[in-house]
Structure 1
Amino acid sequence: MNHQFHQPQPNRPVPTPGQVAYDPASGRTGVVQAVHGVAELCFDHRMSSDRVAFLRPERGGVEWTADAGALRLPADGEGGAQHLHAR
C-alpha cells in the first residue's frame, strides 16, 4: 500500500492536546484529546500518517479520529457553527 506521510509544515503551528484543531478530511473543528503513534493502537486506523489524533466537538459529542499530520489550527470560519450541537 502506498501512503504519503504528512509531516507538519515548517513555521505552521501544530495543534496539541487541549487545543482546537481543524480536520480538513471531515471539515470539522474539535478539541484534540490525544495523539498516538499508529503502533500504539489496537484498531485499523486507516490513516496515511504515522500519528492518529482523537478529537471531540468543543461543546461535547462523539469523538472521532483524524490524521494528526493533517490537522492545523482553524482559520476564521473554518469548521463553522454548523457542526456544533444545538443547546
Structure 2
Amino acid sequence: MNHQLGQPQPSTRPVPAPGQVAYDPASGRTGVVQAVHSVAELCFDHRMSSDRVAFLRPERGGVEWTADAGALRFPADGEGGAQHPHAP
C-alpha cells in the first residue's frame, strides 16, 4: 500500500551523504559533506531554493560553506579538481 499517494516522489538520483565528496554546481567546488539539515532547523538566512541545506568542507581542510542539498551530486572527472590536487 502506498501511503504517500499524491506526495512528490523522492529523486532516484543518488546524492552524496555526510562523509562523501560532493560537487556543488553553484560554487564550482567539491567538498566533503559534513551535514545536511532541513531549512526549518536553521537559525540563519539560508537563501536556498531547496528545503535542505548541506554543509561542505574542502577535502584538504579549510572554510566550510553551505550549499543547496538538492543541487549536489557526485563529481565527474575533473570537476572541482583544480582547487584540490591529489597528494603525491
TM-score by length of 2: 0.81
Contact 1:24 1:70 in 2 (8 A): yes
Question: Secondary structure of 1:39's partner?
Answer: helix
Deviates more, 1:57-66 or 1:2-11: 2-11
Pairwise CA RMSD of aligned residues?
6.8
State how far apart, in whole Å, the 1-side matches of 2:76 and 2:19 are: 17
Q: Name the CA shift for 1:7/1:84 in 2 (closer, same or farther; >3 Å).
A: farther
TM-score by length of 1: 0.82
Contact 1:21 1:73 in 2 (8 A): yes
Contact 1:59 1:84 in 2 (8 A): no
Structure 2, unpaired ranges of 5+:
none
Contact 2:16 2:72 in 1 (8 A): yes
State how far apart, in whole Å, the 2-side matches of 1:65 and 1:6 are: 31
Shift of 1:3: 27
Instruction: Point out the structure with max Rg over C-alpha.
Output: 2
Bigger RCO (CA 8 Å, 6+ sep): 1
